[in-house]
Amino acid sequence: MAVADTHEIHDDHHHDHGEFIAHHFDGPEQQFDSGKLGIWLFLVTEILFFGGLFVAYTLYRSNHPEIFEQAHVFLNKYLGGLNTIVLLFSSLTMALGVRAAQLGKNKNCAVYVLITMVCAAVFLGVKAVEYSHKWDMGILVRSAFNLTYTHPAPVTSVGKWLHVSDYLVYISVIPTLLLVGFLVASLMGKLMEKNVFSKFMLGLSIMVGGYFLGVGVGLIFMDVAEGGANESHASIQTADQPLMLHAMTQETREDASHDENHDKTAESHPAADHVDGQAHHEEHAHAGGEAFSAHHPDPEKLSRNVGIFFSIYYCMTGLHAIHIIGGIVVLSWILWRSLLGQWRSDYFGPVDYVGLYWHLVDLIWIYLFPLLYLID
């Protein structure tokens, strides 16, 4: 459709506005077009918002390409690829959801929107695995960057029980509380015979379940990627065996390491072992099996500014993750209204607008993935 001829819709200028047509609009089409222009302008501000970070990235990369060469080995391109596919799939279901709303098929729309929300939560779960893995290794923003290559043994009981990073446990506290809350609310709704509310809350619980699915898939995926030996950093899973052993024997080993051979010392204090880090890494590659790969750059040879790459990485992916969370919130609103059956062929604007936002979040990830994960 070309630029709208606004006079066209005056032909049947009626004022028996439908249920959701605001009175200041001439009709559904004008309302739809206004909303659409509004969401496009919002997306423009979003692009400019992210544009600032892309400027930081471009400047730093063009001036210091060596930092990017050194830093990218700490990112797992297979996990990034997995997340890309999850987001692309969520974009497909979102587009199908918009189509369902356009045809007035509210039930289908609710299902598609829910799948989109689950994908969003899976994305966050994988991201949680990625982030916690980096925090464990001391890969933080520049001011806190303190690379250790090792994973500290979990301290929390859940961390010990599941053999996962403590940070992952901390991050997962909120989703766990949400899951319990949504399930209880769904049950309450059922008991009080508020069916739509109960369904909605059940949908939200399924969505939060997606987060835990993402965590599980992320952990397994990291494991598999490690096995392929293409990846250059240790995963939580593969580090499990030596890590647990390490945890159980840490105290005795530290005592023993003073009079034992160099290999043991290196295992107990890998980061502190500045003198011959290279030797340590070679030894480790043989002794420690899959856990630590020989691809690791020597910490002494890393630029002091490698952390700046991770400052940029955390800002870009963090802002993107905030957008994913925002997307989940607005998608729940769409889910709620789908369950109420409010979409019709002449009123589906909100689904379309939220869909556009969701596709933009996907679009930004399409660029973030090669820019951050595929540096070679």
Partner 1 sequence: MSDHSENLPAFCHPASPKLLYAVFFALIFLTLLTVAVSALGPPMGMPRAFAFPIAMIFATMKAFLVCAFFMHMWWDKGFNILAFLSSLLFVSLFIGMTLMDTSHYQDTIEAFDVQQLTGVEIAE
Q: Which residues contact partner 1 by CB under 8 A? A: 1-4, 28-29, 32-33, 36-37, 40-41, 43-44, 47-48, 51-52, 54-55, 58-59, 62-63, 77-78, 81, 84-85, 88-89, 91-92, 94-96, 98-99, 102-103, 230, 304, 345-346, 348, 352, 355-356, 359-360, 362-363, 366-367, 369-370, 374-376
Please check whether residue 231 is in contact with residue 225, taking contact to mean a CB–CB distance below 8 angstroms: yes
- CA dihedral sign, ordered 97, 102, 108, 109: positive
Minimum Å gap between C-beta 177 and partner 1 is: 33
**Which amino acid, one-letter code, is at 234?**
A
* Cα distance between residue 232 and residue 180, in whole Å: 37
Burial class (CB in 10 A: 0-12, 13-18, 19+), 232: middle
Nearer to partner 1, 121 or 368 (CB): 368
Beta-carbon-side half-sphere exposure of residue 273 (alpha carbons within 13 Å): 23
Q: Which residues of 34-48 are buried (b: 16+ CB within 10 A; e: fewer)?
A: ebeeebeeebeebee
Minimum Å gap between C-beta 128 and partner 1 is: 22
Q: Look at residue 41 and give its three-state secondary structure.
A: helix
Minimum Å gap between C-beta 315 and partner 1 is: 16
Q: Please list, in sequence order, all residues whose beta carbon lies within 8 angstroms of the beta carbon of residue 215, skipping any fewer than 6 positions away.
A: 125, 126, 128, 129, 168, 172
Beta-carbon-side half-sphere exposure of residue 206 (alpha carbons within 13 Å): 17
Minimum Å gap between C-beta 304 and partner 1 is: 5
Nearer to partner 1, 98 or 335 (CB): 98
Minimum Å gap between C-beta 292 and partner 1 is: 21
Nearer to partner 1, 2 or 191 (CB): 2
Minimum Å gap between C-beta 95 and partner 1 is: 5
Nearer to partner 1, 30 or 257 (CB): 30
Nearer to partner 1, 254 or 298 (CB): 298
Nearer to partner 1, 92 or 217 (CB): 92
Q: Please list, in sequence order, all residues whose beta carbon lies within 8 angstroms of the beta carbon of residue 117, skipping any fewer than 6 positions away.
A: 203, 207, 210, 328, 331, 332, 335
Nearer to partner 1, 63 or 252 (CB): 63
Phi and psi angles of residue 81, each rounded to the nearest 5 degrees, phi first: -65, -40
Assigned token pair, 297: 């750059």
Nearer to partner 1, 58 or 249 (CB): 58
Minimum Å gap between C-beta 352 and partner 1 is: 8
**Which amino acid, one-letter code, is at 191?**
L
Minimum Å gap between C-beta 12 and partner 1 is: 12
Please check whether residue 197 is in contact with residue 188, taking contact to mean a CB–CB distance below 8 angstroms: no
Please check whether residue 89 is in contact with residue 324, taking contact to mean a CB–CB distance below 8 angstroms: no
Minimum Å gap between C-beta 96 and partner 1 is: 6
